[in-house]
């Protein structure tokens, strides 16, 4: 058994976790776990439970809470961690195996002592994966949220800043963009994240976007704080305006990490100021990192087995390669396509994790679409891959969210003799025609797989408590993995919410309510919208028309008997917004049909509003 403090407070065993209900015992447990192995004074615990409004019987009530907590431990089989009554207060021991906070700090301290950038980055990323959502979301203690949560959050942000610094220093500017983009938006008061974002944009050739970001930061600081950006941001702006070559980035060791000693700080090397015109440096050699398993991954057993067999077979060109199209060293190509939110990326990463030992040259994961929706060019992606023939054995690349076959073809020589897993909403038939390979068109999960995913994410006990409601929730979510994970996250951060009540609330406004307020990427409408807006306006309009059609099966003449109508349906199917097609009927998923109807209403409303009166 172990305790999870970095997110909703929970007790976990294996893959199952029980999220505690908001209560005084939950506040007491959190207060003890925040100070593992230390004597926590009675006065501190009283403030954690009642803040400054303590009843006359507070001390007796505290003892009652301790007894209730011990009974809770017995209920869930917690035997290795006991609450000790000691002079002046209570103590609860925990180590890296029983408390995620201790493990986080242990990993960060270990990272700081490695001296190797790759190893340090791996440890920091492992530590950051322990954070599982809003901190202490189910702990109702105002004092802990006021006095303790900010300090814990600061530990995470320092580790994240450090990890992003290392990725910049290793030349992985494009990969780090997603992390620093999100961090800069969520924490606008931390200049370092803004500096990292602007530097990453500039180093990837996006000078105008870097300057726009700088001016946005400067305007916000002037308006909200009445101050100018710090020296680091100002030097960076000047370098961008002059078009300077920034040279190789350096890791900033002046920012203390949790557990770093004063001696280690003194021995560290400060990040140098940006030089006006440093000498060109050789580009860093890309080094792969181990691929971790996908959290709570379930289902897809047949597809996963087939993909893993293709990747580990070492076949050149893969099954189905056209005769004479490849050579002895051609790469095995596996394409995963399907509707937006269907789970292509998760399956690709899980298979990469499964098979990484078969690729001594390493596994490289590249996202082929930027956060703003634009496509990464093959030249940009090539900078993050080893030179052809330079690897120490077979290499695997995962190319995620590819938009065209032309994005992929120039990259395949870098993994000659290895393999490439390509995820795309499109079928990429042109790529398969020229380079062979296997294609897996993913559909929604079946009901049993949906139940398994909910049990893995929510905990088997919570699903067993409301089995009928869990089945209904899977149906409301359309058995889409993305929808199920969003619903599970909402339930995890609201431990008192019944699954049945969540189902009713979601069903009132689908798919709009399948989204999370603190992460715009975890939103079904957002993901559907990104797929739709990649299409030409005429194909977008054709999709909107499908919302008012009867049923989910669509004949080839649903948009009219014309060549353009037939092409529209083919385009929508290729974009993952429809399934099947000639010679059989097309099919549209219920969630996509509801989304099409909503899009049509909004479009008609906008047209009415802008029409001349």
Q: What is the pLDDT of residues 535-559, one digit of tens each?
A: 888 888 888 888 777 767 666 566 6
**Cα→Cα distances 426→404, 408, 429, 558, 570, Å:** 8, 13, 8, 22, 11
pTM of the predicted protein model: 0.56
For the stretch 111-123, what's the b/e string if a residue is b when 16 or more beta carbons lie within 10 angstroms of its beta carbon?
bbeeeebeebbbb
| Segment (H or E) for 376 | none
For residue 203, give the nearest of 246, 255, 265 by alpha carbon.
246
Question: CA angle, 126 as apex, 463 and 388 as ends, to 5°?
Answer: 115
Q: φ, ψ for residue 365 (rounded to 5)?
A: -110, 120
Residue 441 to residue 439: CA distance in whole angstroms: 6
Strand locations in 76-227 (E): 83-86, 89-92
Q: φ, ψ for residue 13 (rounded to 5)?
A: -140, 115
HSE, side-chain direction, 13 A CA sphere, residue 80: 11
Q: Residue ranges of the chain with pLDDT lower than 70?
A: 15, 79-81, 113, 247-289, 314-329, 371-372, 388-392, 518-521, 551, 553-561, 609-613
Radius of gyration (C-alpha) of the chain in whole angstroms: 27
**Predicted local distance difference test score (pLDDT) of residue 520:** 62
The string of DSSP letters for 47-83 reads HHHHTT---TTHHHHHHHHHHHHHHHHHHTT--S--E
CB of 478 closer than 8 Å to CB of 588 = no
**Predicted local distance difference test score (pLDDT) of residue 152:** 93
| Three-class DSSP category at 541 | helix
Residue 367 to residue 29: CA distance in whole angstroms: 40
CA dihedral (182, 187, 190, 195) in degrees, to 10, reads 20
The pair of structure tokens assigned to 167 is 């990725």
**Cα→Cα distances 189→44, 55, 178, Å:** 30, 38, 18
The pair of structure tokens assigned to 334 is 């596996």
Residue 590 to residue 126: CA distance in whole angstroms: 38
Which pLDDT tens digit goes with each residue over 262-317? Answer: 333 333 333 333 333 344 344 455 656 678 888 888 889 999 999 999 998 864 34
Residue 603 contacts by C-beta under 8 Å, 6 or more apart in sequence?
541, 544
**Predicted local distance difference test score (pLDDT) of residue 398:** 93
Q: Give yes or no for a cis peptide into 511 (omega within 30° of 0).
A: yes
Strands 332-338 and 438-442: parallel
Q: φ, ψ for residue 586 (rounded to 5)?
A: -80, 155
What is the distance of C-alpha 165 from the center of its chain? 19
**Predicted local distance difference test score (pLDDT) of residue 289:** 64
CB of 420 closer than 8 Å to CB of 335 = no
Residue 607 burial (CB count, 10 A): 9
Residue 81 to residue 519: CA distance in whole angstroms: 35
For residue 419, give the nearest of 489, 368, 351 by alpha carbon.
351
Residue 484 to residue 447: CA distance in whole angstroms: 12
Residue 450 to residue 446: CA distance in whole angstroms: 6
HSE, side-chain direction, 13 A CA sphere, residue 438: 20
**Predicted local distance difference test score (pLDDT) of residue 390:** 59
Strands 586-587 and 579-580: antiparallel
| Segment (H or E) for 527 | helix 524-533
């Amino acid at each position: 058994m172990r305790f999870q403090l970095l997110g909703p407070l929970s007790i976990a065993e294996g893959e199952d976790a029980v999220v505690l209900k908001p209560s005084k015992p939950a506040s007491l447990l959190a207060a003890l776990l925040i100070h593992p192995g230390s004597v926590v004074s009675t006065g501190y615990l009283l403030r954690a439970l009642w803040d400054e409004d303590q009843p006359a019987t507070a001390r007796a009530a505290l003892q009652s809470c301790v007894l209730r907590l011990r009974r809770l431990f017995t209920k869930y089989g917690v035997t290795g961690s006991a609450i000790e009554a000691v002079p002046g207060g209570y103590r609860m021991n925990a180590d890296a195996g029983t408390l995620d906070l201790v493990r986080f700090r242990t990993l960060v301290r270990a990272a700081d002592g490695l001296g190797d950038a790759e190893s340090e980055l791996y440890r920091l990323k492992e530590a950051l994966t322990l954070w599982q959502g809003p901190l202490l979301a189910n702990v109702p203690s105002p004092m802990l949220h006021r006095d303790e949560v900010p300090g814990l959050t600061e530990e995470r942000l320092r580790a994240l800043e450090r990890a992003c610094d290392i990725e910049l220093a290793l030349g992985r500017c494009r990969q780090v963009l997603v992390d620093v983009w999100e961090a800069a938006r969520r924490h606008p008061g931390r200049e370092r994240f803004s500096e990292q974002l602007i530097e990453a944009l500039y180093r990837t050739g996006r000078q105008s976007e870097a300057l726009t970001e700088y001016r946005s930061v400067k305007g916000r600081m002037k308006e909200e704080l009445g101050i100018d950006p710090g020296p680091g941001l100002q030097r960076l702006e000047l370098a961008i305006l002059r078009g300077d070559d920034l040279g190789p980035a350096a890791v900033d060791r002046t920012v203390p990490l949790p557990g770093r000693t004063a001696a280690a700080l003194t021995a560290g090397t400060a990040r140098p100021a940006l030089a006006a015109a440093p000498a060109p440096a050789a580009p860093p050699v890309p080094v792969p990192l181990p691929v971790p398993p996908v959290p709570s991954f379930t289902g897809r057993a047949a597809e996963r087995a087939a993909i893993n067999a293709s990747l580990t077979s070492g076949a050149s060109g893969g099954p189905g390669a056209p005769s004479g199209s490849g050579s002895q060293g051609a790469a095995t190509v596996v394409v995963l396509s399907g509707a937006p939110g269907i789970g292509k990326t998760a399956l690709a990463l899980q298979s990469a994790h499964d098979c990484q030992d078969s690729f001594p040259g390493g596994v490289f994961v590249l996202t082929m679409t930027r956060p703003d929706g634009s496509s990464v060019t093959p030249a940009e992606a090539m900078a993050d891959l080893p030179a052809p023939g330079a690897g120490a054995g077979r290499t695997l690349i995962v190319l995620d969210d590819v938009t065209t076959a032309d994005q992929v073809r120039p990259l395949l020589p870098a993994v000659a003799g290895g393999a490439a897993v390509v995820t795309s909403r499109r079928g990429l038939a042109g790529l398969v025609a020229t380079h062979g390979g296997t294609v897996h068109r993913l559909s929604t999960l079946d009901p049993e797989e949906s139940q398994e995913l909910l049990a893995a994410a929510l905990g088997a006990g919570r699903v067993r408590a409301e089995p009928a409601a869990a089945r209904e929730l899977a149906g409301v979510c359309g058995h889409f993995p993305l929808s199920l994970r969003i619903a599970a996250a909402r339930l995890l951060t609201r431990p008192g919410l019944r699954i049945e009540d969540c189902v009713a609330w979601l069903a009132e406004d689908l798919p709009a309510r399948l989204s999370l307020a603190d992460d715009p990427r975890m939103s079904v409408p957002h993901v559907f919208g990104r797929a739709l807006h990649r299409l030409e306006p005429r194909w977008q309009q054709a999709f909107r028309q499908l919302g008012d059609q009867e049923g989910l099966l669509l004949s080839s003449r649903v948009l009219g008997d014309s060549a353009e109508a037939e092409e529209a349906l083919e385009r929508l199917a290729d974009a993952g917004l429809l399934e099947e097609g000639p010679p059989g009927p097309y099919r549209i998923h219920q969630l996509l049909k509801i989304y099409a109807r909503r899009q049509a209403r909004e479009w008609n409303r906008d047209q009415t509003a802008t029409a001349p009166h």
